[in-house]
Homo-oligomer: A and B are copies of this chain.
Amino acid sequence: MTRTTTAAMPALQVAHWFNTPRPLTLEALRGHVVVLHAFQMLCPGCVSHGLPQAQRLHQMFAPEQVAVLGLHTVFEHHAVMGSQQALQAFIHEYRLTFPISIDQPDGHDGVPLTMQALRLRGTPSLVVLDQQGQVRLHHFGAIDDLRLGALIGQLVGEARPPVTEQEAAAGCDDQGCALPSAVASA
């Protein structure tokens, strides 16, 4: 079946959020299956395949089960794609309605911080987390609907784990979350 993995997930480092009234954190999404789609607005494979797939996922699944997040990981053409205004126009024209964040720039027109932490190979990339926040898929390039649907369906069907003391103690603020020690040391 779908190639899966189990690994800890670093916190998102985000410069700005669109399509959400307040910043989102992975910590706060524990208990949901999370589909993180990393893209660039000038990446043809993202525009033709990855973003429409993410939008369909967002519309298909109940929000209490699956959270679809976009991550604009600008690692080239910074002057063109790097502004908040540029992404806002893109989101408007492509009618994207799921929460989308701008990956925090590294300050030197290099690879942004979340993309570095996730060791993404490029765009489009998909990272899928189970309800416990563990990475179950880490994929570069296009992935077909049947395979992705099967993985998400499986993860939605898994029993929701009880909240541990460590998770309950994890601290989050608007910019991200401090990972609980159990996950950070995994």
Residues of A within 8 A of B (CB): 1, 42-44, 47-48, 53, 56-57, 60-62, 65, 77, 79-81, 83, 85-86, 89-90, 93-94, 144-158
CB-defined contacts of A156 to chain B, threshold 8 Å? 1, 150, 153-154
For the complex formed, measure the closest distance between the CB of A157 and the CB atoms of chain B, giving whole angstroms: 4
The residue in chain B whose Cβ has the minimal distance to the Cβ of A79 is: B85
Q: B94 to A44, Cβ gap below 8 A? A: yes
Q: A1 to B89, Cβ gap below 8 A? A: no
Question: Do most interface residues of chain A lie in helix, strand or loop, or is the interface mixed?
Answer: helix
| Copies of this protein, total | 4
Q: Could you tell me the distance between the alpha carbons of A155 and B90 in the complex, rounded to whole angstroms?
A: 37
For the complex formed, measure the closest distance between the CB of A95 and the CB atoms of chain B, giving whole angstroms: 8
CB-defined contacts of A90 to chain B, threshold 8 Å? 42, 80
Q: B147 to A148, Cβ gap below 8 A? A: no
If A61-B1, A147-B60, A150-B60 touch, does A93 touch B157 (CB 8 Å cutoff)? Answer: no
> 5 smallest A-B Cβ distances: which pairs?
A149-B149, A153-B153, A150-B153, A145-B145, A153-B154
CB-defined contacts of A62 to chain B, threshold 8 Å? 1
CB-defined contacts of A44 to chain B, threshold 8 Å? 93-94
Known: A47-B47, A150-B153. 13 other contacts (CB 8 A): A1-B60, A1-B61, A42-B89, A42-B94, A47-B48, A53-B146, A57-B146, A60-B146, A77-B89, A144-B145, A145-B149, A149-B150, A154-B156
A151 is contacted by which of B144, B153, B155 (Cβ under 8 Å)? B153
A145 is contacted by which of B48, B81, B146 (Cβ under 8 Å)? B146
If A65-B1, A157-B157 touch, does A42 touch B93 (CB 8 Å cutoff)? Answer: yes
